[in-house]
Each structure stands twice: as C-alpha cells, then as structure tokens.
Amino acid sequence: MRQVAEHVKLTEEELGKLIERFGKPGVKQKIKMLNEKRKKGTLPLREGSDYQSLMKVGNQQKVQPIRSKEGLEDIRSYFESRSKRDYFLFVMGINVGVRIGDLLKLQVRHVRNKEYLAIREEKTGKTKRFRLNIMLRNIIEDYTYGMTESDYLFPSKKTKEPISRVQAYRIMKEAGEVLGMENVGTHSLRKSFGYHFYQKNKDIAMLQDIFNHSSERVTKIYIGIAQDEIDDAMDDFFI
C-alpha cells in the first residue's frame, strides 16, 4: 500500500487495475474528483477502500471494444510490423477472451501443442477452459518456436518476467493513439472478443457463461451491445 495522492492509498495491483481500465489521465482525474468531494464534505474521508471509491467516482469514458473489422486489422497490422510479442498479445487477447491479468502470466507450456487453454481465473478462482482453434494453434507454434516450456509468453525485454498490466495498457493505448482510435486499452482485447463473438453467434447466454457474468444484461453492457441497441432504437424514434 502506498500513498499515491493526498488522502489516497492504493496497492500496486489496485493502481494497475485502475490505469488498465481508465488510463493514467483518467485515474488522475478520478483522484482529483475524489479529493475535491472529500474536501467539500460530500464524501467522508474514508468510506470503503480508496480503490472502491475511485472506481465509483466520476463518469470517465470506459475502454471500449474495437467494433469494426477494419479497426481490428489496422491494429493487427500495426503490431505485426513492430513487435512479435505485442502482436501475439493482441491476437491471443481478441481470440480467447481471457482477462489481461490471467493472460500475462501464461507460459509456453500452457499453450504449446494444446487444443485447450485451462486457466484458474485470478478474479473468480474458477478454472475455465478455452478452445484454441487451428488458426490460433498455428500462430502459437510459430511464436513459441525456439522457446522453452517455462518461458513466459509475454516477457519483459529486461527481466524475462511477464510484462505488467500497466505496460500492457501502454502498449494498447499507444496503438490506439497512433491509429486515431479513442478509448483503447487492455480491456479492449476481451471486450472485442465478446463483441465479435456475439456478432457472429448472437448467443449472449453462452458469452455470459464464458465471462462468468451475473446476467445477460451485464454482458451486453460489458461488450457495448446494450448502448448500440439503445442508439439503434433512438435512430427511428420521433414523437
């Protein structure tokens, strides 16, 4: 636990999760808003954890899925021309739908010559199984060639340990900025998987099960479908 601002203490993990979801500017703005509310007396100095308070405060735009196939191809091409590791992170993220924290911890032994990826989810503690189709297995084979079974899939160039959530966020955020895309972050990977899975299969119940969500409504909001449906309904609504 460390002091990140006046009256605000967070663990490194909590700070990483906030940056992953809202971006550094968004987190700074949330901290500012939280402290202003506390100074004005509209919020008590302590009401639950600072992490919970920061998650609730403000109305910061959330990271969005990449909805267009063209957008996906643009980012795919961007990474493919710059970094083998970052390209593989993107491809795995949008095709498996694993949370970024679980994805970053993977080693070669978890995916090489496997038809399924089995993960004990950090957030839920549940073990989930994800199918690795032939297209993805071919990419895995190429990427892991020459790597040992214990090598991490997404290593830091300096330490060979997995890159952090914050570093992964920066990688995605920078790609979005270069390509002129707004609200892109590591959450965009899982949300994009969900969005395009739904567009292809139209099975929100199956997607709810994949994501371990409490309801279909939660899943629709998470992947951006709920807002799309509202927008479509409003297009033809006039009294």
Q: Please identify every residue annotated as catalytic.
A: 99, 123, 187, 190, 213, 222
pLDDT at site 60: 46
Alpha-carbon distance of 239 to 237, in angstroms, equals 7
Structure confidence by residue, pLDDT tens digits, 165-186:
989 999 999 999 999 998 899 9
Alpha-carbon distance of 161 to 12, in angstroms, equals 17
**Residue 76 structure tokens:** 């795919």
User: Domains of the chain: which residue ranges?
Assistant: 2-56, 69-186
Q: 3-state class of 84 per DSSP?
A: helix
Going from the C-alpha of 52 to that of each of 78, 95, 135, 217, the distances in angstroms are 35, 30, 40, 22
Cα three-residue angle 70-101-140, rounded to 5 degrees:
60
Tell me which DSSP letter residue 155 carries: B
Confidence (pTM): 0.75
- Listed range (15-29, 67-81, 117-131, 182-196) with the worst mean pLDDT: 15-29
Query: Is 166:20 a contact under the CB 8 Å cutoff?
Result: yes
CATH number (1.10.1060.10, 1.10.443.10, 1.20.1250.20, 3.40.50.720) of 69-186 reads 1.10.443.10
Q: Pick the closest to residue 198 from 211, 186, 187, 185 (CA basis).
A: 211
pLDDT at 155 over 90: yes
Alpha-carbon distance of 9 to 18, in angstroms, equals 13
Phi/psi class of residue 64: alpha, beta or left (left: φ > 0; alpha: ψ in -120 to 50)?
beta
Phi/psi class of residue 201: alpha, beta or left (left: φ > 0; alpha: ψ in -120 to 50)?
alpha
